[in-house]
Structure formats: C-alpha cells, structure tokens
Structure 1
C-alpha cells in the first residue's frame, strides 16, 4: 500500500478525482465575493467609492496573483508532487482570506486578493493535472470537468451567503462572507492528506510499486493483474523510459517540434474561454442587468442568483456526457451559441438603450422597454447556460490531457497562466469598457467567439476516450489544420502492443531520474 492515504477512499476514482475539485471552488468563491458587493453601500464607503477603473483594478488583483501561482506549479508539481501542490494552495488561500476579511483600505484588500489569487493559480493548474493523471480514460473528461462544476458551486454558495449578509448593516455584510471562504480551503488541505499521489508522478520518481498499487486500487478494484491496470502501468513505464532518454526536463522542451503545437492549443483554449465574455456575466453581472434597465438592489440580486443557479445546473450534462459527446462538438457548439447570444444582447442594448445616470455614474441603460429588458436578461441566462455545458468544462479538460508526461506540469501551468493573464486583463478592462463603449463591448466578445469556432474547427483534434499515452499517437501524425479528419480510433493500443514494445527494448538499461 502507498504510504499516506486511505485504501478504502483511494479505491473510488470518483471520490479521489472529485475531492480535489474543491480547489476549483476557490476561484468561484472569489468571483461572487466581488460581484455581490458591487452595489453594497458599506463596501463602497469602506473602500472610497471606487470608480470603474479602480474597481477593475481591485477585481484584477486576484487573477494577477493567479498568473504567478499557475506558473509556480510548473516547478512545484514536478518537485514535490501534484498532491502537495494542492495542499499548499489551500493554506495560501487561508492567508489571503484573512487579509481580505480584515482589510481597512484598498491597498490591504488588493494584497489579500493577490495572495488569494496565488492560491487559485496553484489550484487551477495542479488540480486538473492531478485529476487527468489519476483517472481512467473512460471517465477522465467527466472528472476533470468537475473542476468547472466546483467553480460554479463556489460562485453560487458565496453569492447566497453574500445575499443573506446584505441585510446586515455595516461592514459585517461583506467581512463575514470573506471570512467564511476560508472553510473550504481548510477542508481541501486537510482532506488531501488521505488521498494518493499521482501514479505517473510516482513512476517518474522511481516509486513503481506504489504507483502500481494506486493504479490497481483506482482502476482495477485492487487487482494489480487487471488488464486495464497492466496496460496503463506498461504505457506509463514505457513513456517514462522514453522521456528519460531524452534528457533533463526544461522549459525549452515546450518549443520542441510536436510539443509547441500542443502548448499553443492549450494556451489558445484557455484564452478563448476568457474571451468568450463569461467574465462580464460573472464578475460584472450587476452592471449588465443595470444596463438592461433592471433597477432595485434586491431585484438585481435575485436576477443574478438565477444566473448562478443555471451555471451550476447546466454544467451537470457536460460532466455526464463529455466523454461520450467528445471535446470538439461541445467546443464548436458552445462558441457559436455564445457568439449569437452576445450579439443579440449588444443589438438589443444598442437599439433600445441610451446614456443615463444610475447611482451617480453614467450608464448605457434601457428605460421604458420592459420586454427588451427581459429579453436581455434571458439572453444573458442562455449565454451562461451555453458556456456551462460546453466551453466551461472542456477548457479545463483539454489542456490537462494533451501533453506528454515529460512536460505536462510545465505545459499545463503555462496554459493555465494564459487563462489568468487574460482574466486579469479583462477583469480590469470590462468596467471602463462598459462605461465608455457600452453595448459595443458585447459585439467584441461575440466576434471573439466566432473566431474561436474557426480555430477549434481546423486545429483541435478529438481526445475523448484515449489514455494520455494514446493521445501521443494522435499528435504524432503531424496534422495541424485538419483536426476534423482525425478519427477516434487513431492511437488506440492494446496490452500486447505495449508489452511488445517493451520486449523489443528490454536489453536497454532503465535510466535513473536525474
């Protein structure tokens, strides 16, 4: 038995894969911890009534920290393991939450958000990495996509806590929710102690027996002789042998032929997920509905909460069917739908809105058109549903499974860092954008979605149902702009194929890890 984890828990791949998702929930907690206070007078008074640029900077502080955290994973996950990286992220989050909860001015709040962002960056890169390496191919997409579901739950739970606390007078209305968000991080860090390490990382660190035991517990009901277990074990060992003969791991490996293309795909998908416009609908939904003509703080909070509930509910079909439907169909359908709904929102805003003043600030707002206001709200809901069932889960799953083990930690961290780079830029840019070009902001993001559709159609091959090692065969074909033409059975191996290769190379010494 591997040291440090409970065998009964480790035998259930769903429990092992889904518990780490609490790390994704931290990101969700942050989103609604900000969106729900944008029209909270106690928050405004405490932090000097921040304008659009200042509020954008406060929100952007978290993804700025996340960018750094995601890059750190490239070293940390290889050095100390995937499991310990997740544990560390939880404790860093606790420190950031304490600073936010106690913040007395913008500077202290920003520092707390940067530190919390560091934790989110660590978790957002290491959790999908851990999940992809510890789950069987048949359920890998389902488990990794639960990362996105945990984000939606974090958003929802924190939002309702904020909603309840909004009836409290004074600074407790936002300090209590900011303090309570430490609890999931503590549960994550303590709970991960009883879960196993990634068998692929163990194999890469000369702990083969422990790796085989974990694979048997997770994928073979404890039977180390199970065919799937033996196939995975043989493939991982073959891959480790090959990668060690290639020399020490380096960032330069990311620009080698065959790898650079995949780094580009991983980074691009994370970029497109941010440019889809979901940032507007999550961080700044208060501003969106305000511009639609929805007035009254309570009515706005209720409308927002419906959106967050839909986000949770419509992620479920993706979790259940992502491995059956495939990654490409979901991405292609999602980008088209999201582009359509955003164009419609922009058209309604542009056709029926005008500049007005809300809460002392200039706002492009729809007034006197109740049906149009409802139409904008419905389109916003449909946009979120489209993201939740397509781009949301797949944007975490795809980058976590397309890289060889040799560069997986570094490549996933770079791809995730791209997510946070664009998250940072958009979190800061959207409030000034809505305050200056108003409804045209939606046209910009709608166009991004249509551009993403074209890129995905030509360049993103299907990866569903393949082991991480079989995906190597898919990308080794060299097809760059003909991704639609790669069949699902390409790269499939049997135990005989892998064992045959090992027999051919058994005269070679197994290189030690440097």
Structure 2
C-alpha cells in the first residue's frame, strides 16, 4: 500500500482513515481483543470513585452505620463526604510527575496500593476518625491512578476505537456506583455492622485487580518516545495495532506522527512546565474549557443526587430505607445505560452537539424538579413528590449524554502530550475543589432552605448552556495529535505539513523493508 499516495492532497485524518485495515475489527482480531481487555482493567479505575459516591449515599440510609458512628450531622457529615476529595488534593502535586516521570503503568500500581490500604482500613475501622483516615487514603491513591489510567487508555488504544474507549473511562464510574448501590441494598438486611463493612471490602476489588495485572498492560508509545525508547514504542504499536507487523502503513504513520508531534513540543520552550498551561492563547483557551467542564460536571445539580440523595428524598417525604436504596440502585443502572450509549455516539454526533444538548436538557428538567419540590413542600402534594423522582431520572439522562462520557476524553484529546499530565491534573483538581465545596455546602443549604436551594442550580445551568455554546470546539474525526494542535493555529498547519512528510518517510521505510528485509532508522 503506497502511504504517500494516500496522503498527498488530503488531510492527515483522511490519510489516517484510509490506512486502517477494514478487516481488522475489535471482535475478529485477537490482539485488539487482548488490548481492549487490558484497557478495561484501566477503565475500572473510575469504578472506585463511582463506588465511593454511591457508598456514602447508601450508608446514610443504613441505621446500622448511623448508629455505629452516632448519626453524623452537619460539618461532620460534610467532612465524611469531602475527605476523599481532600485526600485527592494531597495527591495531585505528585500525580503528573509520576505519570510523566516513571510512566503510566507504575503510577497506576502506586495508586492501587494506597486505595487497597484505604479500603482495608475502612473495612476494619472502629471509630469515625479511622473511617475518615481510610477515605483520605482512598482519595490520595485515586488522584495518582486516575491521572495515569485515562491517559494510558487514550494513548495506547487502537485509533479507530480511541474516542469510544476514552469516553467509557468516566462512564464506568457508574459500574462502581451500581455495585455499591445493590450490595448495600442487600447487606442492609444484615442486622449488624457487617451491613456496611461488606460494601467497604468490595470497594477494593478494582485496585486489587490492578495491583496484580497492570504490569501486563502495554506502556504508552507516546511516553516511550518521549523517553527516547523509540524501538519499544514502535514494537508496542505494531504488536497491538497490526499483529506485530512493524512495516504496516498505519503503524508507521502513527509512529512518525507521534515522533513529530513530541519533537515539535520539546523544541518549543513555551510548551514546557506549568507556566506553559497559560503561556499561549491556545493553551489559555484549553485551560478555560478544561476548568469550566470540570467544575460544571460537579456543579450542575448532580452533586445533590450523587452524595445527598437521601436528604433529597427526605425533603419530598420518601423516608423508607428500602425504597431509598432501591431507587438509588435503579438510578445507577439507568445512568450507566445512557452514558454507555452516549460514549458510542461521540464521533457520530460530535462533542459540541452532545455538550449543548446535555446542558439544555439538564436546565429544563432540573427546573421542573425544582417546581415539583416546591409544590410538595408548600402543598404536600404526593404526585409532586413522584414527579420529582421522574425528573431526577430525566435530568440524569441528559447529564449522561456529555458530562459523564466526554469530560475526561475531551480534556485529554485537546491537550498536547507535553501538557497532558499537568493539564489533566488541573482538571482533576478542579473537580475535587467543586466536590469539596458541594459536600460542605449542600447538606447545610438543604437543611436550612430546602427546595429553594435548587433555584441556585437552575440559574447556574442556564449559564453553563450559554458558556458551552461559545467555548466548546468540535473535535470529532481527528487524530489525537491533530486534535491537540487544533487550538494552536500555526502549530496545526505545521503538524499538517509534518504529517505529510511523516507519511512519505513511512512509505520509504516500508519500501526499504520490502527490498532489504530490515527496518532502518529506529532508535533503540
């Protein structure tokens, strides 16, 4: 196949798509199946976080947990919910340096160690102080693992499936949410403290799997190239993307594009260090978008449901423990289905369409939820309480169109390699700040002003919709390197030119291999 002939006169993306073997599908290629299986091991990092959100909701519905810890209220309850994110804050200064310094895989393993230790302490704790300390450890480990895992998914995926797989990362938050919801629903019937200790044990499962298996996952070819290990990077790409054929046109194109993009970033001093995040107009725009969607993801009214659904139930008269846990479990399954559906539409419908549809739908249904909550609070209308539950489900259907699958994948794809770990760390830091704020403020506000607190979120959701309309840039149908360069104008043009040159070099190398049976020019 003549690579240069395909590329000449076309965009890099068009050339890239023409290089994909149409017969190499995820379901009929053994090595892509193996690769995707390893990526699932990385994707479940988000399950630990999702498990935690639902666990704290469920525990507050259990009399056994409430009695063991003397019914935490107010600031203590806020600290219990916020401490995981405080632990994450403590880990953020280390996360990007570990990911870029020692690699994605070792960073995930280190994070898993902390999360296993935290889950063990949470299971065995004898007082509220140990419980708080355990959740701090879980948050600390999660900040390290969740910086590295989604980047590795994005950087090692077979290119055709990258958007869907990277979008599934945050989507699998709900897999942990479902396990926590339904295990708590079952163990709530145990009339002793094991009703809440058993779910605490289950929280460690993703981390235990990663502790033993993450070393079998391929390291990021982009990380390897950045460390001068080009031969190993080429071997990794070839092994998983082309059945080991290091002369495959797709592999050679990927390899040359990665080398070109990383070289361009390393040669540009403005793309080095933390100051680089705001050094150029393109980078400043990236950071505004990243910080905004990170904050929006936790400050769209969903924080009330994720951590304080029990309190929301109380405001509309649903106080039975079994009913509360049942609704929580069903909601988790509903969310997972919508989020998975949206993950597979990202290249079909586009990021911008999904973000705007999501924000508009959330604004509508949260407003209706607020109206019905007011009707129940003022008039005690039972039908209004039932409508609140319906509108919570509809609200989350629209939330899951964008703010579950896209916030991680969109953040990673608009960042160039040299800034990816640091920029993603800023994203995670923003989420933690938003969560801590919510987890302290929400219980206090709900206790003092009830349904009127919802009005704040109605106004904020309207602002989010307007912001996203003006700032979100469409990125569908682009390679990872091209997407990252989209914000830089001149750099995008340079990447276009470099991609054509890379394709020509790939063609020469491919022809030379055919003639000589060797592959010249790869640095060991």
TM-score by length of 1: 0.88
- TM-superposed CA distance for 1:125, in Å, is 2.0
- Answer yes or no: is 1:256 the counterpart of 2:272: no
Q: Distance in 2 between matches of 1:492 and 1:282?
A: 43
Match of 2:362 in 1: 338
- TM-superposed CA distance for 1:452, in Å, is 1.5
Q: Aligned-residue CA RMSD in angstroms?
A: 2.6
Q: Deviations over 1:15-62 (max 9, x none)?
A: 233220111111011112111011212211221211133211110001
For structure 2, the residue ranges without an aligned partner over 5 or more in a row are 1-28, 508-520
**Pairs within 5 Å for 1:476-487:** 476-477=488-489
Match of 1:378 in 2: 390
Q: Secondary structure at the match of 1:187?
A: helix
Q: Secondary structure at the match of 1:374?
A: helix
1:54 to 52, 73, 76: 76
Match of 1:403 in 2: 415
Q: Deviations over 1:299-333 (max 9, x none)?
A: 22212221111011111211221122111111111
Match of 1:114 in 2: 136
- Answer yes or no: is 1:352 the counterpart of 2:376: yes
- Answer yes or no: is 1:455 the counterpart of 2:479: no
**Pairs within 5 Å for 1:483-502:** 496-499=500-503
- TM-superposed CA distance for 1:70, in Å, is 3.6
- TM-superposed CA distance for 1:63, in Å, is 1.2
Q: Secondary structure at the match of 1:224?
A: coil
Greater helix percent: which structure?
Answer: 2
- Answer yes or no: is 1:294 the counterpart of 2:294: no
Match of 2:171 in 1: 149
- TM-superposed CA distance for 1:447, in Å, is 2.1
- Larger displacement relative to structure 2 (36-45 or 128-137): 128-137
Match of 1:135 in 2: 157
Match of 2:487 in 1: 475
**Pairs within 5 Å for 1:422-437:** 422-437=434-449
> Is contact 1:10–1:195 with CA below 8 Å preserved after alignment?
no
Match of 2:399 in 1: 387
- TM-superposed CA distance for 1:498, in Å, is 3.4
Corresponding pairs, count: 479
- TM-superposed CA distance for 1:491, in Å, is 7.7
Match of 2:295 in 1: 271
Q: Deviations over 1:430-482 (max 9, x none)?
A: 11111112112222222222212211111121112211211244212389xxx
Q: Distance in 1 between matches of 2:385 and 2:449?
A: 19
Seen in structure 2, the aligned counterparts of structure 1 residues 493 and 433 have a Cα distance that, compared at 3 Å, is farther
Q: Deviations over 1:375-415 (max 9, x none)?
A: 00000111122112221111111111111111111111111
Q: Secondary structure at the match of 1:353?
A: helix
For structure 1, the residue ranges without an aligned partner over 5 or more in a row are 1-6, 355-365, 480-485, 504-509
Seen in structure 2, the aligned counterparts of structure 1 residues 276 and 218 have a Cα distance that, compared at 3 Å, is farther
